[in-house]
Structure 1
């Protein structure tokens, strides 16, 4: 079994709608705001297939020439996606003041209003290339000033393949032996437009979602985001093949994905049943509820996550706040989502099996 390049719009499209990444449908380094014009309008409950594009290989510090840059790693021009070539060659600016992310959208969802919640069900994530990159750039990451060593930024090229039917990649030691690690694709950036007409940078996540980089938002999960503008204006980008909690190098294993999602508007009692009064991102998997906390300070992000997890338990299960705090200390797992996006993230893993009497 091997992976081949999935060009935009080619092959099986499982969603009711298709949105590809073109100079007309993306923002490079910036998020849609309240004044953004939708690329597509869908009904609540519709499914959309989105060909997302990784920024790695097209950025200015990589020559803004994906054929030339990737060719240095043995990738043939035919193995470079057409949307990477098109967007790199476009007039869209992307300099040092812009974020790196290619953000596709927004998609308006008919009937969404402020106060509602947009539920994003992740139905399918297909790799678009048999390769990706982990980046370490000077002045960024968990150890700025220490790594990367030497004068150059470091791009770790990773081939992608299969081992026993599992999608994997490898990294080699100096003696040639290789660590083999599993891949679990997810979209690092999913969000709705915040209620502002000011420019919104793509790097820092917020209550609107954006670049939250939560590795558990894989196929079969749902992300809940508070709607702040009519239509919600959903967007996505920053596709990953794999990420460790923390994302310490600066990026995870970055590579383009074909994503199919279902966009559903929750209103009134359905909001209360899903997330209560929380107006911050919440992820739900088959096994866990995952409230989040964000702040420029990792300590405060942790405190915000604890507060949000307490609120979730109090409103969903009728705990008092002290019992909720005790439960989280005994049984909740707090993980660092990422420390590299200016606004840092912490998420809490709450096991659904612990609440079998409520289900």
Structure 2
């Protein structure tokens, strides 16, 4: 392993070492050196308000102020403002359950889905997929929805919206094998993470993925002289063979066109829901949640003003 590997060590951040706001004044949970590895035991994004026995009545008393806790922070020696923190995602261990929900007032089509709904998933990580319902399998692709560092500004900031410091980016590409690069704004960087997901489509359109507790193993390295990193960057590893293998059957894609980019995205999702209801026998709530955990939003065209085109595509091999 060599001298550097021999010096590196592994530390642990437990579920009790969490905070609800980004702040440069949160005391570190652990202190590490560049090259060290940290394991995190992260509860789900509901912060324990939802469990295996929950039903949609949980939203009668759900407290959004408690949602999306982050675990840490980790102080990395020699990380100074202007540096870049590289985070290598080494492993992500799932548990046996998760949840997806439609929450009143939350999600891309919140006005069209005012009533709450909750799906509890039975996860069997050894199979490589989760069963949405008979004949619909969702490949498991765990990742942390939140990875971020403390902001430069004084004050306390919500963990829900992302910023240039990272945070709740909800990007499904930040999975095992990916290296994430975050600009450092405060001494020690003060990195925290959380919001485990078992699977998600790009866009997370109903507001939730398959939310689940995760045990994450991350390695930290301080990078000097990388001034081009002023917001989150990442590099993915080559695709490897998944546990759950099924032939590619192409994708069904809907397109939203509008002079407002957000409205174009809403149209693409709306059309996907209509297609799923009409051709796959799903109810509207199920179609909305399926789009959130398995379908991908993408900007197809931005230059032919005044209208923009956004697509939503769903891999057809989820229908087994």
Under TM normalisation by the shorter chain, which class is it? 0.5 to 0.7
Any stretches of 5+ residues in structure 2 without a counterpart?
1-8, 56-61, 240-259, 266-295, 300-309, 311-320
Q: 1:166 to 1:18 in 2, by over 3 A?
A: same
Query: How many residues matched?
Result: 235
Residue number in structure 1 paired with 2:122: 159
Conserved? CA contact 1:105–1:236, under 8 Å: yes
CA distance in 2, matches of 1:102, 1:50: 13
Could you tell me which of 163, 171, 186 is aligned with 2:132?
Answer: 171
Could you tell me which of 99, 103, 110 is aligned with 1:137?
Answer: 103
Q: 1:198 to 1:169 in 2, by over 3 A?
A: same
The reply to whether residue 100 of structure 1 matches residue 67 of structure 2 is: yes
Q: 1:185 to 1:213 in 2, by over 3 A?
A: same
- Any idea what the Cα deviations from partners look like across 1:313-344, whole Å, max 9, x if unmatched? xxxxxxxxxxxxxxxxxxxx9947xxxxxxxx
The reply to whether residue 21 of structure 1 matches residue 53 of structure 2 is: no
Q: 1:36 to 1:101 in 2, by over 3 A?
A: same
Conserved? CA contact 2:47–2:67, under 8 Å: no
Residue number in structure 2 paired with 1:34: 24
CA distance in 2, matches of 1:265, 1:72: 42
RMSD (Å), alpha carbons: 2.7
- Alpha-carbon shift at residue 180 of structure 1 (Å): 0.8
CA distance in 2, matches of 1:171, 1:125: 22
Conserved? CA contact 1:220–1:285, under 8 Å: yes
Any stretches of 5+ residues in structure 1 without a counterpart?
1-14, 74-93, 289-296, 303-332, 337-345, 347-359
CA distance in 2, matches of 1:207, 1:57: 24
With the length of structure 1 as denominator, give the TM-score of the two structures: 0.61
- Any idea what the Cα deviations from partners look like across 1:140-182, whole Å, max 9, x if unmatched? 111112125x4xx2111111125xx54211112xxxx331111
Conserved? CA contact 1:166–1:182, under 8 Å: no
CA distance in 1, matches of 2:47, 2:188: 33
Q: Which runs of 4+ in 1 moved over 4 A?
A: none
Aligned partner of residue 188 in structure 1, secondary structure:
strand
CA distance in 1, matches of 2:120, 2:63: 23
- Any idea what the Cα deviations from partners look like across 1:85-136, whole Å, max 9, x if unmatched? xxxxxxxxx944x261121010000000000000000000011x21100111
Conserved? CA contact 2:46–2:66, under 8 Å: no
Conserved? CA contact 1:53–1:237, under 8 Å: yes
CA distance in 1, matches of 2:228, 2:85: 14
